[in-house]
Amino acid sequence: MLNKNQIQEAVLQTKTFINFDNRALTETALVMLATLLAPIFLAHTANNQWIVGPLVNAGLFWLAFRVGIGNAIFIAFLPSLIALFRGMLPPQTIALIPFIILGNVALIVTANYFIKKQTFGVLAASFLKALLIVTPALLILPKVSSALVFAWPQLITALLGGGIYLLVSRKIR
């Protein structure tokens, strides 16, 4: 029969989808806070996407590379939902929210897959995210130009976010 300490030890060593160690939870909470506050405070500033997007993507890369997929995916839903509730999205793009979330999840999984080659991971993840958003945008939005105007900033903000992550992570090591 297992005693209480043996049971606790076995549970703590079990690999879970969400990383529950103290460092991981702290970093996840900080990224979640930034992901929540950036769109809330910058919702009505001019060109807020160029500030919020890179910050959110940097946070997603941070979690994907340093904490784990589960924690990052938990956060991946927040930016689009906050943008929706804050009225930051043009009405015709609301139908793209599931694809933006899918793009964020693809960014996380791809980045994590290339954890040993982070620069390549940033590039691959950014391009995959943009592709997963632009393809449905071309089908959903009424004009090809509207789809491209909406989608190409997703690539740029993901690349900028990845660049921020790479710079910050190298300084922190």
Q: Please state the pTM of the whole predicted model.
A: 0.84
* pLDDT band, residue 153 (cuts 50/70/90): confident
Residue 90 CB neighbours (<10 A): 12
- Chain-centroid distance of CA 25 in Å reads 16
Q: Which domains does the chain have, with CATH numbers?
A: 18-172 (1.10.1760.20)
Task: Give Cβ neighbours of residue 131 (< 8 Å, ≥ 6 apart).
Answer: none
Dihedral of alpha carbons 98, 23, 50, 52, sign: positive
Q: What is the DSSP letter of 142?
A: S
pLDDT of 89: 73
pLDDT digit string, tens, across residues 84-119: 887 777 777 788 889 999 999 999 999 999 999 999
Q: Is the pLDDT of residue 154 over 60?
A: yes
Instruction: Give the pLDDT band (50/70/90) at residue 62.
Output: very high
**164 neighbors 54 (Cβ within 8 angstroms):** yes
